């Protein structure tokens, strides 16, 4: 019976392991608490977004120019998923931590690591279960989107999928960080503190970057929230996707190293160092991928096609120096409407913010060059104070010695989607029916299940 098993290879990820993790997920309280809170949170965000959208739509029904500015994506989807983002940031770590920490504290891990599974299989099964939890958590969001369509609202499939993809990658990254926190610490409470310190620390970095440039801006670009931002603008950012995937895989690999008992500390440290170096190289490489797709139907994040085509042919380095404080709203406007688009359209663009605006107590607004935007191309320079593409692009074309393309005569084909609707009746669903259904599912998962012992 007990034949030598040295030739026995570790089995691959299997259904029994995954079923066990799903049972662990369902039998715990964290998922159900998240669902109970998520439903009213998303519902409130959705109802408020629809009300505000209706307010904006009333005058737009008579003015086509106003109507063109109205997008369901910015007006409904992003705000509705804002509540989802909040819940995922604050509550999703608890689900992830439970999947790892429960077995550590109960002693089940000592049994689990002796089963013929690879450590990567164990961590992967837990992660797949976590992805299943995210899909379950998405139910309130999907019901809000269905509700929007039911009210007569417009949804663009490419924008919607891009936004959901961003939120999924964000949640998986949060989950992987939480896994590592649970693997590193002895108790679930300590792991929760560690995971929340990272997620909430990201918010702090973001806030800090609002008023300061330099190192703060650099750190803010590494924050978890900033990774989600392109998706919220309707941009499918390949660098962001690759960076999030690599970071997630890196945190999972670190979890596999730190989770098992019995591994000497020296080996854990050397393995961790290797993973961090490899992940840093891969993320650095991903950042070089300059592919960002504007999936919005009206291409509102991009220059007109004729300009993009012309800009893509300008192969020489373009240097842009902006003399503005990072907290200046004009810089934010310039970045979104000109600089970010230039970076995507031209192969070699360098942007330098020359003045942080916070350096002296006297401020910088009085400095002579404050507000100037200097551009250098082929050793020729020009300066402007305008932050609009209508002035900056012709200046660039003049520096490059090319003619401006003819202005687009058709304009945007998108008519805009104004809608005066009232979603207040959906409160019954979000505040009543859905939480009740969650409570019933929780009760069913917690007990009173009949388990057939013998296989049929």
Partner 1 sequence: MILNTPSEAVLSNADSLMSVQGISKAFGDQRVLADISFDVISGEILGLIGPNGAGKTTLLECIAGLLPIDSGEVRWRGAPLSACQRKQLLFYVPEAISPYPDQRSAEVLRFFCEANRQPPKRLDELVAALRLEPALAKPLGALSKGYRRRLLLALGLLAPRPMLLMDEPFDGFDLRQTREVMSLLRDEALHGRTLALA
456 binds partner 1 (CB under 8 A): no
Beta-strand pair 349-353/318-322: parallel
Q: Report the b/e string of 256-294 with b at 16+ CB within 10 A.
A: bbbbbeeeeeeebeebbeebeeebeebbeebeeeeebbb
Q: Is 383 helix (H, G, I), strand (E, B) or coil?
A: strand
Nearest Cα to Cα of residue 34 among 125, 124, 135: 135
**Does 116 help bind partner 1 (rule: CB under 8 A)?**
yes
* CA trace torsion 228, 84, 177, 248 (10° rounding): -50
Q: Which residues contact 238 (CB under 8 A, 6 or more apart)?
A: 286, 289, 291, 292, 293
Tell me the closest approach of the beta carbon of residue 126 to partner 1, in angstroms.
14
Q: How far apart are CA 119 and CA 144, in angstroms?
A: 39
By beta-carbon proximity to partner 1, the closer residue of 111 and 444 is 111
Residue in 23, 61, 313, 336 binding partner 1, rule: CB under 8 A: 23
Pick 362 or 453: Cβ nearer partner 1: 453
Residues 6+ apart with CB under 8 A from 350: 317, 318, 319, 320
Contact status: 455 vs partner 1 (CB under 8 A) = yes
Minimum CB–partner distance for residue 100 and partner 1 (Å): 14
* Least distance CB 256 / partner 1 (angstroms): 13
**Cβ 95 vs Cβ 30: under 8 Å:** yes
Closest CA to 129 of 26, 36, 222: 26
Q: With CB under 8 A, what is the number of residues at the site for partner 1?
A: 40
Q: Output the smallest distance, CB 188 to partner 1, in A.
A: 14
Site for partner 1 contains 108 (CB under 8 A): yes
Angle at which helix 78-106 crosses helix 224-232, to 10 degrees, equals: 140
**157 is an interface residue for partner 1 by CB under 8 A:** no
* Range in contact with partner 1 (rule: CB under 8 A) among 1-9, 181-189, 238-246, 321-329: 1-9
- Considering only 32, 84, 92, 117, the residue that binds partner 1 (CB under 8 A) is 117
Among 111, 146, 306, 440, binds partner 1 (CB under 8 A): 111
* One residue of 32, 38, 86, 107 binding partner 1 per CB under 8 A: 107
Interface region with partner 1, contact rule CB under 8 A, candidates 32-40, 158-166, 227-235, 256-264: 256-264
Does 114 help bind partner 1 (rule: CB under 8 A)? Answer: yes
**Among 13, 27, 293, 332, contact with partner 1 (rule: CB under 8 A):** 27
Nearer to partner 1, 118 or 300 (CB): 118
CA distances in angstroms from 334 to 166, 294, 370, 400, listed in the order given = 24, 18, 14, 21
Q: Which is nearer to partner 1, 5 or 379 (CB)?
A: 5
- Joined tokens for residue 400: 């490059």
- Residues near partner 1 (CB under 8 A): 1-6, 8, 11, 14, 16-17, 19-20, 23-24, 27-28, 103, 106-108, 110-111, 113-117, 261-265, 446-447, 449, 451, 453-455
């Amino acid at each position: 019976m007990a034949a030598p098993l040295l030739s026995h290879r570790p089995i691959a990820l299997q259904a029994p392991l995954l079923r066990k993790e799903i049972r662990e997920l369902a039998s715990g309280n964290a998922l159900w608490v998240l669902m109970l809170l998520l439903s009213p949170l998303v519902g409130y965000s959705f109802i408020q977004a629809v009300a505000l959208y209706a307010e904006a739509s009333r005058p737009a029904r008579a003015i086509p120019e106003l109507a063109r500015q109205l997008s369901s994506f910015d007006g409904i989807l992003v705000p509705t998923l804002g509540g989802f983002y909040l819940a995922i940031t604050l509550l999703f770590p608890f689900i992830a931590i439970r999947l790892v920490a429960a077995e550590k504290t109960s002693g089940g891990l000592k049994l689990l690591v002796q089963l013929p599974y690879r450590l990567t299989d164990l961590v992967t099964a837990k992660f797949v279960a976590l992805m299943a939890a995210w899909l379950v958590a998405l139910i309130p969001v999907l019901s809000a989107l269905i509700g929007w369509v039911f009210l007569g609202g417009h949804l663009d499939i490419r924008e919607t999928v891009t936004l959901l993809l961003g939120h999924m990658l964000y949640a998986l990254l949060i989950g992987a960080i939480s896994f590592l926190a649970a693997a590193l610490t002895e108790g679930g409470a300590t792991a929760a503190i560690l995971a929340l310190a990272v997620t909430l620390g990201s918010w702090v970095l973001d806030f800090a970057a609002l008023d300061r440039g330099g190192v703060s801006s650099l750190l803010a670009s590494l924050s978890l929230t900033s990774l989600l931002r392109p998706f919220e603008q309707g941009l499918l950012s390949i660098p962001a996707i690759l960076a999030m995937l690599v970071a997630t895989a890196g945190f999972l690999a670190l979890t596999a190293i730190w989770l098992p008992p019995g591994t000497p500390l020296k080996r854990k440290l050397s393995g961790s160092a290797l993973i961090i170096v490899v992940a840093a190289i891969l993320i650095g490489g991903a950042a070089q991928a300059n592919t960002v797709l504007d999936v919005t139907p009206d291409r509102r994040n991009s220059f007109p096609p004729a300009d993009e085509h012309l800009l893509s042919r300008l192969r020489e380095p373009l240097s842009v120096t902006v003399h503005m404080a990072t907290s200046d709203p004009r810089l934010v406007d310039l970045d979104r409407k000109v600089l970010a688009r230039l970076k995507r359209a031209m192969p070699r663009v360098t942007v330098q913010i020359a003045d942080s605006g916070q350096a002296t107590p006297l401020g910088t607004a009085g400095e002579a060059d404050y507000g100037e935007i200097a551009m250098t191309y082929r050793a020729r320079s020009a300066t402007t104070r305008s932050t609009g593409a209508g002035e900056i692009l012709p200046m660039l074309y003049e520096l490059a010695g090319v003619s401006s393309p003819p202005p687009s005569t058709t304009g945007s084909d998108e008519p805009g989607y104004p809608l005066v609707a009232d979603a207040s009746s959906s409160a019954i669903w979000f505040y009543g029916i859905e939480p009740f259904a969650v409570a019933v599912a929780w009760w069913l998962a917690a007990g009173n299940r009949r388990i057939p012992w013998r296989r049929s």
